[in-house]
Structures are given as structure tokens and as C-alpha cells.
Amino acid sequence: MSCLFLFNAEDQILKLSSELLKVLDYEENEARGSDFSNFVVEDSARFKPEPGMTIDQPGYLRRKSGEIVEAQFRCECLDKQSGLYAMEVTLDRPSDKDDRSNGQSQSGDESGLEFLTTVSHELRVALNGVIGFSNLLGSSNLNEDQRSILEKLQSCNFLLKGLINDVLEYSRVATSKIDLTPETVHLESFVRDVTELFRERASKKGLELKVTLEDEVDRTIAISKLRVTQVLSNLISNAIKFTEVGWVGLAVSVTNETLSLDVQDTGPGIEESERESVFKPFVQFGKDSGSSEGSGLGLAISKGLVEKMGGTLRFSTPATGGSLFAVRLPLAQGVDLKKPRKATVPNPRRMRSKAPVARSKEDTRHILVVEDNQLNADILSHFLNDYGATFELVDNGRSAVDRYQDDKYDLILMDVMLPEMNGFEATEAILAKSRRPAPVPIIGVTAKVFRRDQLRCIESGMAEVVHKPVDFKHLREVLDFHLYGKKQSPAPVQKDADRVGRAKPAKESMQRSGDDAFNANTLEEYIVRMKSGGASRNEVVNTALQIVDAEVQKLLDTIESGDRKETGLRAHSLKGALALLGARGILDLSKGLEILAGDEGTPIRKEHWKALISAAYSEFKDAIAKYLETTSAAS
């Protein structure tokens, strides 16, 4: 289970999560303000990283009784100037009072899942700007060298996105927060559908993808379709990844009680010394072959899923060489095999198989964009301009409801975390207000990635969900389907070739990418994308800073008002804008403030936080001004 606490440079405890208080057997009023050494055995200096750095190491907690508890600590600096540090504590087992009930111990897993939800959101918000601007930059006029660099950047972006997804999936399996509901499938069709996803990838490597099906697979069975697909995809993908010559094969057989799936390859296999670690998390093989990209979680996730379904996953080395992964799964009993269950969460992509409808350049659609982060709204605006749609922008859910009229909008792009009225509430209110025969398609746009979040979107009435960081190829497909009933992307509306300005980053900008106040490379990406209509670099940045100025002032006013919920929302909104400009110090402060605002039991010291935010933002703006002066002189 994972817990969280905050402390300062004087080793004073500022906040402990409720779960950590339970573990240590302290009351909140006893713990707050006490010394770091009361809870952690090691010297506090070991847990005070520099800004932008993370310390991840094992250690020991000290309970009120004096008992020592082994734990894993992950620490980061939220603000160097004031000395504010955050520490995540992970325990291998619940260490609360011996009489803790099973239901209570499960709350630790829930806490850990909530923490990972927050981390996922933060990482995806940061990636949203990078991937979004990279995709938009790809549609501009680039020379061969620039396009080659952009392709490498996009490859890294999606690798990072995949790593985040793997970590989240591993955590869900470890905490049992997964849906294993069985549904009926026609086994032969199911297997062929899954393997066809990998045929092109195998063909590009010159590999044969062989599928061997026993006669009895022409039948309907009950399995957790989503999770079996996930396991099978992991195993086939791994086999193709590590095999350079020969073939990858899948053999399938079934009895009345057991499904057998054997994935075999003619790759180099796994060294005997490494075989005990095959299913351990974060273990990577094939480093010498250059095939080690990834999180090292695929096999750990697969084994965890198979065991949750009551089955086994084993590795062996065939006499002919290579690797063999054998899955044995018990079939679900007592499920009506006459008709398959409907998926809880609809998969809109499956429905996009109808013949496309022609679209002319004059056949435009009008979209309402609901997004409280101005810079994220700018990214969507550029995309929609390129797409050829007209649109209006509002920055909160209540305004979206007030603005909505049945005959005015063809589609709504709805952020979920919004001020005044969140995206779920706004969606429900708009659909209740509408008198259209067919409801307006509302597409959720969110960094929340867990299945329960997707379900909440669908339950509120959204037609589909697009995750942040937005994959604009996917968004184009979504808009094509809901606006024009077509699967293929329309020809993009031609842009003015001079619309996107091209900055010439000076050597100094690369050298200053480690600046404490901001990341120059991220700022350069923003300038390049937004420089248009003859605007100078300084004008682009100053326009953005005017937006952020207003956000900072709103946050300061809200802190003064004492409205905790609004303070959390303002801090969250500010983070998104700051991330796109490459901010560092004030971005970390905003994260810390959002965490504190969400805990009703922790007072927010108004003057302290207002001073911190003001000083950090002033430092950020000074650093930006100095950077622009330097790069303008050098260009």
C-alpha cells in the first residue's frame, strides 16, 4: 500500500495521509508539527533531493510503539526555496493494528490506486503538450532533417506513454482493481481476430506468424475476453520483438474445463541464469540485441492476470530452441453460451465499419470546446482549424450548459475536471436540456485513464472518451465518425504556408535546458507552434504569460478567500498552463498546493502559500525574460 506525507527543510512534519497515520498508530494532532525522526529511522538528509530529482530507496518507519516497519521511500522536492518535500511511502504489507479487518486493509490498496490515478493524470498532462504540439508540428512544412528529428521525438513520446500505461496496469493487477467478468466468445473467431493484429508486424520482420487450431475450437466459450486478449497480445508481441529469424506460433486447444494457449518462437530464448526472473516486474531481457525498450512489465502483468483468472502461465525452452509460454485457463461456468454478453464499456471503434460518407470543403461542422486550461485550448484550436471545423470555446461546465442550444452545435469536446461544474455534471445537464431526436455527441477529453473513469464518462451520457495526451490521429477518426459517419480521415483543409513560424534555437537555448525556473526546450516547442501572423518570439511568450498572469492572480485570490475546492481547481488549472511553457519551480508548488487543498484536515496557511506562489512566479518570469533576451541576441 502507498501513503504520502509532506515535511520541510527543518524536518518538521506538515502533513501525513490518513493511511500513514493508521500505520504509525498516531492521531493527526500528535503527528503534525513533530520531528521527522519520530517516524523515519534514517537521517533526513538522505531524503532531500534537488529540484527535478527523485530519491527512491528502501528504509524503515518507526511506529508510535517503537516497532520498526520496513518500507520503500520515494521523495521529491516541491520547492527548494521554502524547503518543501513530498515523500511517498510504500509498504509490502498492511502494518496497522493486528485487529484491522480485511475491509480496512483493502483501503490501503484503494489509497494506492488513488495515488496512481493522480500520478497518471500529472504525467499525461505533461505529455499532452509534448505530443499535441509534436503532432501539429508534423502537419507543417518541415525539411527532411526536421521531419526526421520530429519522427524520433514522436517515437519517444509514444514509448513514454506506453511505459506509463504499463505501470498503471501493473498497479491495477497488483491491487485487484480489474474487471474479470466473463463473456461468451466464439473461440476460433476470437483467436483469429487477436492474431491478425500482429500479422503485419511479423511480416515486416520477415517472420511467419503460424496459428494452429484444434478441431474443438469451433465453439463458444466463456472467458474474460478483455484480459485474455491482453495476455495473448503481450505474449505474441514479445515473441515478435525478440525473434529475428524464423517464426512465431500460437497453438490453441480447449476441453470442457480448460483453455490452452501456447505461444512459441524461434528466437534466442532466455539464458538459464535469467529464467527465474522471467515473470518479475521491471526485468528486461535482450539488452545486447537492442530489444530492451519497454518497462519490463509485460510478462509480470500477464502472469498476474492469468493467476487472477485462476489459471497458470509457465515458461519453458523447447528442444528446438527459442521460448515457449504456456497459458492454462479454467473456463467460466454457468454463463449463458447462447448469446454473448454486451461489453460494459462500448468500443466505438468496432462500430466504424459502415461505408464512408463524402465530405466537401463546404460541409463544415460547428463544435463547442469546453476546456479550462487556455494553452490546452490553444492546441485543440489549432487542430480544429486544420480539421476544417468552426468552434467556440468556454472554460467551465456551467458556461457550456448555458451556451448550449440544440441547433447550434454538431458536437461537444468536454474536459472532465472543470471549475464550477465538472464535465460529468455538464454532460448530464446538456442532455437533459436537449430536445433533439438524437442527442448531440459529447466526447470526453480527459487525463483520467482508469476503467472506472471511462465508465463514469459513458454513464453520464458521453458518446466516447479521448484520453490526454490527445492522439490527434485518433481524435480525427472520432470526429469523422460522429460528424460525418465515416472511418477514413478527410483531406485536411490547406493552411497558409506562413502560418507556423520557425524559430532558430540558439545554442544557448540548448545549454539552458536545465534552468531551475523553466525548461527552455519545452518553451521553444511552444514558441515554434504558436508563432504565426508575423508575431515575434517575444510577442508569443508575452501573450501566453498574460494568460498565466490571470491564472496566478485567480489562484492567489482563491487562496485568500479560503475556498479549498476552488483553490484545488485553480492550482490544477494553473499546472496545465505552466507545463506547456516548461515551468518548473512554480509548477511543483501548484502540485503541492492541489494535494493540500484536497485534504480538509490540513489548514492552508494563506500568507505562506501566497508568498511562495508569488516569489516562484516572479522568478519564472525573470528567467523567461533573460532567456528571450539571450536567444534574440544570438539568433
Task: Give CA–CA dist 350/232, Å, rounded.
Answer: 20
Contact criterion met (CB below 8 Å) for 150 and 142: yes
Over the Cα atoms of the chain, what is R_g?
27
Please report the pLDDT score of residue 312 as a whole number.
92
CATH code linked to domain 2-98: 3.30.450.20
Contact criterion met (CB below 8 Å) for 414 and 423: yes
Check pLDDT > 50 for residue 483.
yes
Task: Give CA–CA dist 58/243, Å, rounded.
Answer: 37
* Residues contacting 554, CB < 8 A, separation 6+: 570
Backbone angles phi, psi at 383, to 5 degrees: -65, -45
* Residues contacting 379, CB < 8 A, separation 6+: 128, 129, 132, 133, 136, 470
30-83 per-position pLDDT tens digit = 887 788 877 887 667 777 887 767 777 777 787 877 677 777 888 888 776 667
pTM of the model: 0.39
Please report the pLDDT score of residue 45 as a whole number.
74
Check pLDDT > 70 for residue 559.
yes
Please report the pLDDT score of residue 578 as a whole number.
82
Please report the pLDDT score of residue 508 as a whole number.
33
Cα separations (Å) of 64 from 14, 21, 61, 67, 141? 17, 10, 10, 7, 64
Find the mean pLDDT for residues 451-472. Answer: 77
Kindly list the domain boundaries of the chain, sorted by start residue. Answer: 2-98, 105-168, 183-341, 349-484, 507-634
**Residue 126's closest CA among 372, 381, 468?**
468
Please report the pLDDT score of residue 404 as a whole number.
94
Please report the pLDDT score of residue 115 as a whole number.
59
Place of cell 472511418: 487
Q: Which of 69-83, 123-137, 426-440, 578-592 has the highest mean pLDDT?
A: 426-440
Task: Give CA–CA dist 60/74, Å, rounded.
Answer: 13
| Helical residues (DSSP H) of 251-361, grouped into ranges | 298-308
Pick the CATH number of 183-341 from 1.10.150.120, 3.40.50.720, 3.30.565.10, 3.30.230.70: 3.30.565.10
Task: Give CA–CA dist 473/134, Å, rounded.
Answer: 12
Q: Please state the separation of Cα 571 from the chain's center in Å.
A: 19
Task: Give CA–CA dist 580/128, Å, rounded.
Answer: 9
Type of residue numbered 113: L
Q: Please state the separation of Cα 83 from the chain's center in Å.
A: 29
**Residue 186's closest CA among 236, 252, 248, 250?**
252
**Residue 279's closest CA among 244, 236, 250, 312?**
312
* Residues contacting 487, CB < 8 A, separation 6+: 352, 353, 354, 356, 477, 480, 481
Check pLDDT > 60 for residue 150.
yes
Please report the pLDDT score of residue 594 as a whole number.
80
pLDDT band at 288; cut points 50, 70, 90? very low
Please report the pLDDT score of residue 100 as a whole number.
38
366-370 and 411-415 strand pairing: parallel
* Helix (H) / strand (E) containing 429: helix 423-433
Q: Which SS3 state, helix, strand or coil, does residue 529 take? A: helix
Check pLDDT > 80 for residue 369.
yes
CATH topology of domain 349-484: Rossmann fold (3.40.50)
Q: Which SS3 state, helix, strand or coil, does residue 10 take? A: coil
Cα separations (Å) of 569 from 85, 386, 558? 22, 31, 10
Which of 172-186, 365-379, 472-486, 528-542 has the least mean pLDDT? 172-186
608-634 per-position pLDDT tens digit = 788 788 888 888 888 888 888 887 665
Q: Which SS3 state, helix, strand or coil, does residue 565 take? A: helix
Check pLDDT > 90 for residue 494.
no
Type of residue numbered 376: N
CA 597, 600, 602, 605 dihedral sign is positive
- The grid cell for 383 is 487542430
CATH class for domain 507-634? mainly alpha
Task: Give CA–CA dist 119/448, Å, rounded.
Answer: 10
Please count the helices (runs of H) and the strands (runs of E) in the chain.
18, 17
Type of residue numbered 616: A
Please report the DSSP string for 340-353 in residue order.
PPPPSS--GGGG--
Please report the pLDDT score of residue 439 as a whole number.
84
CB atoms within 10 A of CB 10: 9
Task: Give CA–CA dist 59/40, Å, rounded.
Answer: 8
Task: Give CA–CA dist 72/58, Å, rounded.
Answer: 4
122-140 per-position pLDDT tens digit = 666 666 667 767 776 776 7
Please report the pLDDT score of residue 340 as a whole number.
47
Please report the pLDDT score of residue 510 as a whole number.
30
**Residue 586's closest CA among 619, 545, 537, 541?**
619
**Residue 555's closest CA among 397, 563, 447?**
563
Check pLDDT > 90 for residue 224.
no
Cα separations (Å) of 422 from 101, 114, 281, 399, 451? 35, 19, 37, 11, 18
Mean pLDDT of the chain: 75
Residue burial 195-233, b: 16+ Cβ < 10 Å; e: rest: beebeeebeeeebebebebeeebeebbbbbbbbbbbbbb
DSSP state of 482: I
Please report the pLDDT score of residue 550 as a whole number.
87
Q: How many Cα neighbours within 13 Å face the side chain of 435?
A: 2
pLDDT band at 260; cut points 50, 70, 90? very high
CA 187, 188, 189, 191 dihedral sign is positive
